Structure 1
Amino acid sequence: MEHRMPEKPVTFRQTLQMRKDFVGKSCKLHFEVAPLKILRASRQYLYDDTGQEFLDCVNNTSHVGHCHPHVVGVGQEQMSKLASSYGFLNEQTALYAKRLVSTLPESLCVCFFVSSGSEGNDLALRLAASYTKRPDVICLDGAYHGNLGSLVEISPVRYKKLGQGHQKKDWVHIAPTPNVFRGKFGSNAANPGVLYANEVRKVIQKAEQQGRDIGAFISEPVISASGMVVPPENYFQNVYRYVRECGGICISDEVQCGLGRIGEHFWGFQMHNVVPDIVTIGKPIGNGYPLAAVITTKEIADSLGDFSSTFGGNPVACAIGRAVLDVIENEKLTSSAKNVGKCLKDGFKAIQPKHPMIGDVRGVGMMIGIELVMDKESKKPAKETAEILAYKLKEKKIIIGIEGGDKNVLVMLPPLCFTTDNARHVVQAFSEALANIESEAARVGLTNREEIVSDRPMDVPLDVITDQTTINVHNYSDDEDDAEDDDPVAKRARYEEVD
């Protein structure tokens, strides 16, 4: 057997330089100017090249925890037997399809396997057009559904990034995001869900007046790119009815919120008491291994004349997919998402009155958004504050995301093995860091000092979420940040939309 010489370690600077030299500039990094080099991960923790441990609050792809031993073991075993079987029968694909279908309503009974959420949503559009004979799609103005060409067109959050040269396609119809904090209809409106649903009906009517018939409506049950917006009660029930009455079908994009993440149910659409015609899933179902699926009715599936995917449904991916479902069931992670998610949300709600810059706390299960504003009356988005806060938390070894159209919403979608202790730690650190930012903002006149409870970091009343005593958060320094990276304008915490 030939012995390989051990590779010489690649330094942080060498890694960064090679990325700059050989990877496209449009491929962004988290904390782009001062990125982390992650060497390994376990459960809800990341470890950088200096051995420091970071609490991962954003990696919903590692759904059941980074490098879960059961998932890793199953994948290794299958990879040693058979990795590709395109065009042949393989039991892993069949068993996984049967298992997935068993978690869904009876009508959703046919699977198509692909390798990413983007592929899944693209296939869903093809299925909808094939079945209805109509290419036109309604999406929401704060939506993101993937990075393929067809999906960029139904992802309005990307339009700003594409610039004024981008023209909306005639087959795309955009409805308002049902955001009761920062939208046309607030939570004080009588039945905002019905009012926002009526906006979709107006879009349908306008399209028909232009001679265009709607083929599909697509939305996430929780609109993640808008900053974890949970549509109000009765919204989806009415929208689905309007779309079906005009001959269209309904697609639920479960890439972010499926597989128990919302806590109350296994699938996001179930919290809205609707049954979609097509469900798309990706990211978490492979726990980091490329795997995605589209599940639909037999009638819609049979309308597509031909489909094939070389890697979709390969035996390694499907064996891993089955292992992920094993872990969710055996470790009761749906129930955990409900309980730990409640800890997170209750904790942030508890500190909200003490922070003039926390405008809204929202979400469900392990999908939490904290919207920052300059003041609660004007609701002016505090984008710079969100960026600074993300870096402050990075210094405390906590990785948190930023979303929303104004990039002012701190978001959390951690692995489902996240614990109540993790939740308390994050809320405490968040409150301390934000209190310092708010005090400085008041000092320089950006906010009203009278609104600041104290110039000192406050103790968080975490007894509302646990009977344990409040923990102390240790201060950390970012030793890996270089002196030349201290430009506050250049530093940005990047959490770009991905598959």
Structure 2
Amino acid sequence: MSETLIERRARLMGPNVPTFYREPVHLVRGEGVWLWDVAGKRYLDCYNNVPHVGHCHPKVVEAISRQAATLNTHTRYLHDLVLDYIERLGATFNHGTTQAIMTCTGSEANDIALRMAQAVTGKTGIIATDNTYHGNTALVSQLSTRKPPIGGYARNIRLVPAPDSLRPVGGTVEGQAEAFAANVRKAIAELEAEGFGFSAMLLCPLFANEGLPDLAPGFLDPTMAAIRAAGGLMIADEVQPGFGRSGSHFWGHDRLGFAPDVVTMGKPMGNGHPVAAVFARADVMAAFRDAFGYFNTFGGNPVSAAAAMAVLDVIEQEGLQANAQQTGAYVVERLKGLSHPLIAQVRGIGMFFGVEFLLEDGDPATTFVADLIEGMVARGVLLNNIGKHRNTLKMRPPMPFSRENADLLVDTLAQVLAETPVLR
């Protein structure tokens, strides 16, 4: 009997290698917002932010090919392109984070950012939310709540309750900003009392994995005041919000209205090519460089820099940030027009959408959302779920997503909603 692809994966990659969906999708080709499986079935990609400017964008492919045919080395040799890229991207910040370390993954970027904070403050305490994900290194995996680290969380880590639109921290939407900040102040005090001190808070400006709560600009003002008073740093993880996805702003932290000390980014930078980075103020970078002998062989290589530069070109030339704002508003309008008894709230920020579902008794409709996702995949639409209870439908399509694509998404969702039974 021939070996299945799933069996082959297990034999060669080991057990429990994650896949999406109950029947994993075997993809063979992508173009724009579309993906095709091995049987020729076409899927509308409403989930992947890695192909930020669309799967296999010809300008990015050409830039990678041209540079790969010319030169590829590392930053121990001088090369203009990586400097051109850092200078160009750094100009999008308005708070002095203009120096960068290029890496290959967001995990590496966040790991470096946390070490930067430790170098600046001389302290080791770290704060994140209680339903987040920032990567896979030994340090940043301490912040993930999906798979607690072996031996438990390190004593220098504090996870505070994440903001929530339907179950706000502190009990009210109006008081949530201050209640969130109060928990941060409490965590800082605990870290100082236990001798670790407070080095930094790391968060996603959209609180994406937390469920994409609807937060007004200025929400983090009390938290930022607490962090500044304690002498710590704020690190903005822009892996999901960055590069125009929020529509109104190029960066999520600008939309929320706070100035981080360090900004990390990853997935969308190279449109599938492994590129990531840490941007920091000059004083923060100097402290890190003095404390750590850091070098990344592949970070900032010319091919990666060419891919990343091409992505910026496409974002600008094709007006993708404006598309995120305009098409995103249309998607939210259409989603809010859906009628189903379990829909508790529709939320959207630019080209990022969430629909939260609750059962009649107010419990999370986790199983219903899981069934809904499978129904959408069967009809050729890829999406997933987020939130502490995985009861929020997550849609985060490539940036060229159009109104026509939006209509297909919402019309299909309406059909699947009508067909999916509610099981307790």
- Equivalence map 1:195-210=2 (5 Å): 195-210=179-194
- For 1:157 and 1:28, the matched residues in 2 are separated by 13
Q: Which residue of 2 aligns with 1:418?
A: 401
Please, which of 137, 144, 148 is the counterpart of residue 133 of structure 2?
144
One-letter amino acid of the counterpart of residue 179, structure 1: D
Letter in 2 for 1:101: G
TM-score by length of 2: 0.95
1:357 corresponds in structure 2 to 342
For residue 134 of structure 1, what is the aligned residue in structure 2?
A: 123
SS at match of 1:303: helix
Structure of higher CA gyration radius: 1
2: distance between equivalents of 1:13 and 1:405? Answer: 37
For residues 107 and 374 of structure 2, the distance between their equivalents in structure 1, rounded to whole angstroms, comes to 30
Match of 1:173 among 158, 163, 171: 158
**1:486 corresponds to which residue?**
none
In the other structure, the counterpart of 1:431 is 414
| Matched residues, number | 420
- Given that 1:140 and 1:219 are in contact with CA atoms closer than 8 Å, whether structure 2 keeps it comes out as yes
1:263 partner amino acid: G
Distance 1:369 1:214 in 2: 33
Cα distance, 1:38 vs structure 2: 0.6
Q: State which drifts further: 231-240 or 150-159.
A: 231-240
Instruction: Tell me if the contact between 1:56 and 1:400 (Cα under 8 Å) persists in the aligned partners.
Output: yes
- 1:75 and 2:64 aligned: yes
2:357, 2:392 within 8 Å by CA — same for their partners in 1?
A: yes
User: In the TM superposition, what whole-angstrom CA distance separates every residue of 1:79-136 from its partner, at most 9, and x where no partner exists?
Assistant: 0011223410011111111111111115111010000000000000111101111111
> In the alignment, is the contact (CA less than 8 A) between 2:168 and 2:176 conserved in 1?
no
Is 1:43 matched with 2:43? no
Task: Judge conservation of contact 1:260–1:267 (CA < 8 Å) in 2.
Answer: yes
Q: Hey, what does 2:305 align to over in structure 1?
A: 318
Structure 1 residue 182 displacement after superposition: 2.6
Offset at residue 189 of structure 1 (A): 4.0
Normalising by the residue count of structure 1, what TM-score does the alignment of the two structures yield?
Answer: 0.81
**Structure 1 spans left out of the alignment, 5+ residues:** 1-11, 447-499
Report which stretch shifted further, 277-286 or 390-399.
390-399
Change (3 A) 1:86 1:271: closer
Matches within 5 A, 1:229-378: 229-304=213-288, 305=290, 306-351=293-338, 354-375=339-360, 378=361
Counterpart CA distance in 2 for 1:172 and 1:127 is 16
Structure-2 change in CA distance of 1:269 and 1:47 (3 Å): same
Root-mean-square deviation (CA, aligned residues, Å) is 1.7
Deviation at 1:46, TM superposition (A): 0.2
Sequence identity (%): 32
- What code does the residue aligned with 1:412 have? M
Distance in 1 (CA, whole Å) between partners of 2:277 and 2:365 is 37
Maintained 8 Å contact 2:106/2:265: yes
Offset at residue 223 of structure 1 (A) = 1.4
- Counterpart contact for 2:64–2:307, Cα < 8 Å: yes
Residue 388 (1) aligns with residue 371 (2): yes
CA shift for structure 1 position 143:
1.1
CA–CA separation in structure 2 for the residues paired with 1:200 and 1:321: 35
Cα 1:429–1:185, aligned 2, differ >3 Å: closer, same or farther?
A: farther
How far apart, CA to CA, are the structure 2 residues paired with 1:241 and 1:190? 18
1:389-426 Cα offsets, whole Å, 9 max, x none, are: 11111111001111222121110111001111111111
Q: Which ranges of structure 2 fall in alignment gaps of 5 or more residues?
A: none
1:473 corresponding residue in structure 2: none
CA distance in 2: counterparts of 1:112 and 1:71, whole angstroms: 22
